[in-house]
Amino acid sequence: MFGVIERFIFGHPVLRRSVVRSTRTLIQLSNGSQIIALPCGPDGAGLRGFTAHLVVMDEAAFMPEDVVASVIFPMLATTNGTAIMLSTPWGRDHIFYRSFKNPSYWSQHVKAEQCPRITKEFLEEQRRDIGELRYKMEYEAEFVEDENSFFKQDLIRECTEDYDLIDEDVLTRDERVLGNYYLGADFGKKVDYSVIALLKEEDNDHFRLVFLKQFPLGTQYTDIVAYIHNLNQNSISLEATAIKAQLVKA
C-alpha cells in the first residue's frame, strides 16, 4: 500500500515537487504532512508514540484487537482523526467485524465480481478450486459462520500468542510438569513433515500451545511414536494426559 501511495505522489507533478524527504517507509511533504508505513507486530510496540489525523489499517481483521483499541485509537484522540480499516473478513469476535456492523461507522462491502479487472471465468475457476467456504471469505468478503468450519476461527485466533514455548531440553529431562496436556500428532513422511503439538489446559478453559516439534522428512513412524511415548510416560510426569493422533496419508 505504501508503494501505491509513493507511486501516486511521484507520478503527480505537483505532489512530486512537494516531497522534502523520502525513504522506504516515510514520505515527508513541504506542508508538514508525513506518510509513514509501520508494521503492527504482535503487540503494536512499533506503533506507539505517534499522533495521527488519519490511520489506515490494512488487513485489519488480522491485527490483534488490543493493538487497535489500545494503540491505534489513542493516536486519534487529540486530533479527532479518522481510522480506516481494510480487510478480508476473518472471524466475528473482533473489532473489525463490530465496526463493520456498527451503524455509526461508514462501511463498504465490495465483492470481487464488482471489480471490472477480475473476470467471471477466473472467479468460477476459483470457486471450484478452493471450495465454497474459502471462496465466500476471499472473494465475496463474507464473515463466514463458525459452524461452517471444523475449528472456529476465533478459537484459532486464541491459540496464537507471542510467548516462548517450552524448550525441548526441558521435556527430555525427568522433571515434573504438572497440568492437563493434550498432544496432537500429524504423521507425514516423504512429502509432508510429521509434527506434534502439545497444548496445556489453562484455568480459563482455554488451551495454550506450549511445545511444537517438526521431524525431518523421512523420519520413521516408529521413531515418532517412541518420541510421543517418551513425552507421555517419562519426560513429562502429568497428572492427566490425553493423547490424540490424526493419521495423515504420506
Instruction: Give tens-digit pLDDT for 78-113.
Output: 999 999 999 988 877 789 988 988 888 999 999 999
Q: Is 181 exposed, middle or buried (0-12, 13-18, 19+ CB in 10 A)?
A: buried
CATH of 163-247, one of 3.10.20, 1.10.3470, 1.10.20, 3.40.50: 3.10.20
| pLDDT, mean of residues 34-53 | 84
pTM of the model: 0.52
What is the tens place of the pLDDT at every residue in 106-122? 999 999 999 999 999 99
| Tens-digit pLDDT profile for residues 227-242 | 888 877 654 444 334 4
pLDDT at 239: 39
Domains of the chain: which residue ranges? 38-139, 163-247
- Please report, as a single letter, which amino acid is at residue 188: G
148: confidence class by pLDDT, cuts 50, 70, 90: low
